[in-house]
Homo-oligomer: A and B are copies of this chain.
């Protein structure tokens, strides 16, 4: 097992192998991928499809002198195995040492922490430019998947390097005919035409941008890949190496269902079935239910996603049913938001959904295209909690703070299933406000909720009490309830418990009223404190006689943390907060 892979301690060891051994190495790498992915999950299809390419890259080039940049870097596992990190794959007790993305902290062969798409060409062009300023001669290679090509940052970079960078830059376009779901957009028709003509079509997107171009049909053939990379090595201008690969290659279920196997949970290799059982009810599934019902009832409604249908729970079947009421813009978040603004302006009812971390790409579109125009779009964000994705590149904890700097935008944070669905109902139908809804990150809970949110920034008092007011936002409401219970049982009085619902402003009347019989206001939020909800409350009281204690995350790039441990470190457990309350309340 891992006969050849075990001999690989650095790229130098790859260069010693003959072609037969390289093929065995590829088989070893796939076995090692199975070993890790069946046990802890991760990105499946992108890695299985790129094994041969990354072997060839390390065979032909000299990393770290030659510089590799991996787009999204969710396909960098084979590269990691070839650069001294095989134990993260073949040895279970070392799994945790390797992140699921490139990471300069792990190895000099990784140049950037990357997790968002469409960045590799820009980053690589910067490495190339610095090389040119310094008179260096190394190769710079960006590896980008076809799915990532549709993002604005990648398109801007292709346009730039096509005429402005007159030196070595090798852009490997890994065309596996798939984004996360199926691809959408004119560019993909051109890639199809190029594949069909083996790269010879006169209609060539890359060439129109001034780029040199070469096609390799057999991207999963190590010898073919070595040959084509040797051809472009040390080239003196930018070139696109368009390669055809098979996503998920080497595992039949993944080859046959590329969408389902883009990413996997731990699974049984024989059956292909995940070892983890999902709860029957989830906010994602509730979202899908809402979308399907609403679309059936209201022909003006349209659901839009930048290639993240699963984050709205939409299966291929459901998407088919939605027909023209569903738009996947491919990875193009900016376009998704601006198009939604246009739809709303013309009387449509757009709901855009994606991950919290990805909406960061649209700060300007939300501000300019949407909010200055006050067009009533609804944005729903999944993975918006400290307790969902814990990779440094995928944290959903910055969104509420960042986007609550935008006037007119109403950010809603529901604490329960009923409130989430009522907010969706209200938001999609109203015509007054752009709205962003943070999908709760915890398990689905149930509690009664209002149906009308048109009085912006009206907080809801769920329990009237004294001395201490707890403002527990969104999916931290349950923590507020727990704290309230402890205050009652341990301190002997009933605190006021408030469900703010609105994250982007404060209820000035309510906060004023609280001054009558409260000494301390506690804020709890599932996001960073700086710029967040609690700071708005603290500032409201800053020239008054009210103490405020804010609880939330620090402004920090946390990486692969244990969420519960993190809460403890931050002094945010119910017990810890209770101690603070004791010391602050007379």
Binding site for B on A (CB under 8 A): 67, 69, 104, 111-116, 119, 122-134, 150-153, 155-164, 184-190, 202-205, 207-211, 299-300, 302, 324-325, 327, 329-330, 332, 334-335, 338-348, 350, 360-361, 363-365, 367-369, 371-373, 392-393, 398, 401-402, 404-408, 528-532, 534-536, 538-539, 541-543, 547-550, 555-557, 584
Contact = CB atoms under 8 A, between A and B. Distances in A.
Contacts of A536: 530, 535
Given A122-B369, A123-B339, A538-B539, 9 more contacts: A122-B341, A126-B340, A130-B300, A153-B334, A153-B335, A153-B338, A160-B339, A530-B531, A542-B548
Given A162-B187, A163-B189, A363-B363, A530 B405 contact: yes
**Which of A115, A126, A539, A547 is most buried by chain B, counting CB atoms within 10 A of its CB?**
A126
| Copies per complex of this chain | 2
**Which of A300, A334, A407 is most buried by chain B, counting CB atoms within 10 A of its CB?**
A334
Given A134-B347, A190-B210, A342 B127 contact: yes
Nearest to A185: B159
B131 A346 contact: yes
Contact of A405 (B205, B302, B528): B528
- Closest CB pairs A-B (n = 10): A126-B342, A152-B152, A162-B186, A186-B210, A531-B531, A122-B338, A130-B346, A186-B209, A130-B348, A155-B155
A148 to B, nearest CB: 12
A141 to B, nearest CB: 13
Contact of A543 (B401, B404, B584): B584
A346 B127 contact: yes
A5 to B, nearest CB: 29
A363 B364 CA distance: 8
A203 B202 CA distance: 7
Contact of A150 (B134, B159, B342, B534): B159
A538 B542 CA distance: 6
Contacts of A126: 338-346, 348, 350
Contacts of A127: 342-343, 345-346
Nearest to A136: B346
Nearest to A397: B405
A531 B401 contact: yes
A186 to B, nearest CB: 2
B207 A187 contact: no
Nearest to A201: B208
B299 A133 contact: yes
A114 B151 contact: no
Given A203-B202, A338-B126, A404-B531, A163 B134 contact: no
**Which of A340, A539, A550, A556 is most buried by chain B, counting CB atoms within 10 A of its CB?**
A539
Given A123-B369, A187-B209, A335-B157, A164 B530 contact: no
Contact of A157 (B129, B339, B547): B339
Contacts of A299: 133-134
Contact of A186 (B208, B335, B365): B208
Nearest to A527: B405
Contacts of A158: 186
30 contacts: A113-B373, A119-B368, A122-B335, A122-B365, A125-B342, A127-B343, A127-B345, A129-B302, A130-B342, A130-B345, A133-B299, A133-B300, A150-B156, A157-B335, A158-B186, A160-B186, A160-B339, A163-B188, A186-B210, A204-B208, A367-B398, A372-B393, A398-B406, A401-B405, A405-B405, A407-B557, A408-B557, A535-B536, A535-B539, A538-B539
